[in-house]
Amino acid sequence: MPLQLRRGTNQEKDDLNLPLAEGEPLWVIDSRELYIGDGVTTASSLTPVVGYGDEEAQDAAASLLTSGTATDITFTYQDGSNVLDTSVSISQFRQNIDMASFDLVGNGNIDISGNISLTGNFTAQSIVSDLKGSVFADDSSILVDSVAGSINLAGTIQGNVLPESSGVYAIGDPGNRFNELYLSDELWIGMAQLTSSGAAFDLPAGSTINGQPLGEIAQPGNGLVIDIIGEDSTVLVNSSTGVFTGTFTGTFDGPVIGPVIGDVQGSVFLDDSTQFFDAQSGSINVPEIIATDNVLDIRNTTPGQETVAAVNSLDAAGVIALNYVSDSDLSTSNANFGRIEFKRIDNVGPLGTAIITATNNGMFFGAGLDQQFDSDAGKYVSIFDKKVGIGTFVPTSTLDVRGSGVFDGDVQASAFKGSLVADDSTIMIDAVNNTISSGGFIQFGNYTTAERTNLSAENGMVIYNSTDNKFQGYQNGIWINLDDGSAA
């Protein structure tokens, strides 16, 4: 049969205002705690019996840590709060440290005399020591490539750059050149100092070019024989051929011998010092212009604006001369000595519309030529051998018209040769059949007897004598009345 101890609730224990007998056990069923009486202390004031718990373990560990000997580390145990305070002051490592994939973090400095071997990246604001390995910028670009043994600088250098030994190392070599070098003030080569003066070099006294002192080059008989090379390796001045190639900006004082291809700003003078181009007035003064590729092109690049070629002579006539120059005798030549062409040039192409041309003894005006200057005389008005022809290259009379003519006004002539047609195309005078036809009346000239007498009469003439009121005709050398044939 099991042994049962005295038991009750915690409240019943506290209400028991009597001491338990010495060694008497009491079990509290709600807190599950065991109390042992001492014969003096009331049950409500007893302390429960416990095993080896956290407090005992903490106290024991704290005693071990605080009572032993430690180097660079101190332990302070707070028993009431069960806290162990620790401070570390390490003056030096006692052995190698294995980080075991952990980091050293925090603010402060690492002062090491010796080597640091790293596998991975090393990030620092500054390093004061020798460094073996590649160095990367914040953007991961390689500044120092330890594999290729190169330094890649894409930023700035602060401070002086000094070689390890003077006069030993070079910047670049003949096969590996830097592109550009920018200096703000001066350049030392040996003991020679080159300084800047605005956009020019200020060379020290005693400087030479090609062995000649600078001051001597400007003297008569001295010269500088060098090639001048542009940034793109183009030869600007070839000292062997004496040719300048490129664009010159600035003032050029002296003669230019040879062709100039490109724009020229300023006046231009001929070999005899005659001004060829006046830059101030924009005028060209030349006795002769030789066309390139047989074409002299004068044009106005402003749209909608006429281009005017004016020949102005002071107190004299302006002359445009078209000359056919030959070493042969041209007196019997039928060659075209010169011409003025009229064309239209549009998106369809060039099309000739008119021409003025001249030969040895004639001048011809053509129109409606349909792009080509052909031999159709009907398209020309000609002046040939002191005669004018319309529709013929060789007129046979003073005015030779090959074709019909329309006259708006009177036509006066001492004689008329040819047929005469009325406005309605009716032939009034038929010069082929020698007939006169009229659908109306014929009006003869009216003369007085005195006026008739002053006429240079010829046989066959007919008039109306307003003095005698009779038709009269000139027959066989005398005037007669036509109504009866009597002498008038």
List, for residues 443-465, the tens digit of each pLDDT value.
Answer: 888 999 999 999 999 999 999 99
Q: Which of the four pLDDT bands, split at 50, 70 and 90, describes residue 299?
A: confident
Beta-sheet strands, E only, within 280-337? 283-284
- Contact by Cβ (8 Å): 10, 30: yes
List, for residues 362-376, the tens digit of each pLDDT value.
Answer: 898 888 766 555 678
Across 150-154, average pLDDT: 74
Smallest CA-to-CA distance from 377 within 395, 396, 350, 399 is with: 395
Which amino acid, one-letter code, is at 310?
Answer: A
**Around Cβ 382, how many Cβ atoms within 10 Å?**
23
Quote the CA–CA distance of 311 and 317 in Å, as a whole number: 9
Q: Please report the pLDDT score of residue 165 as a whole number.
A: 86
Alpha helices by DSSP H, 331-379: none
Residue 228, classified by CB atoms within 10 Å of its CB into exposed (0-12), middle (13-18) or buried (19+), is middle
Which amino acid, one-letter code, is at 389?
Answer: G
Q: Please report the pLDDT score of residue 156 as a whole number.
A: 72
Paired strand residues for 451:
none
Give the start-to-end residue ranges of the domains of the chain: 6-45, 446-481
With pLDDT > 70 as the criterion, what percentage of the chain qualifies?
A: 84
Q: Which of the four pLDDT bands, split at 50, 70 and 90, describes residue 470?
A: very high
Q: Please report the pLDDT score of residue 452 as a whole number.
A: 92
Quote the CA–CA distance of 440 and 206 in Å, as a whole number: 116
Q: Which of the four pLDDT bands, split at 50, 70 and 90, describes residue 468?
A: very high
Across 304-312, average pLDDT: 85
Q: Please report the pLDDT score of residue 308 as a whole number.
A: 85
Across 430-454, average pLDDT: 82
429 CA to centre of own chain:
77
Quote the CA–CA distance of 129 and 285 in Å, as a whole number: 78
Res 148 pLDDT > 90: no
Q: Please report the pLDDT score of residue 216 as a whole number.
A: 55
Beta-sheet strands, E only, within 131-254? 135-136, 142-145, 150-151, 186-189, 192-197, 200-202, 208-209, 212-213, 228-229, 235-238, 243-244
Average pLDDT, the chain: 79
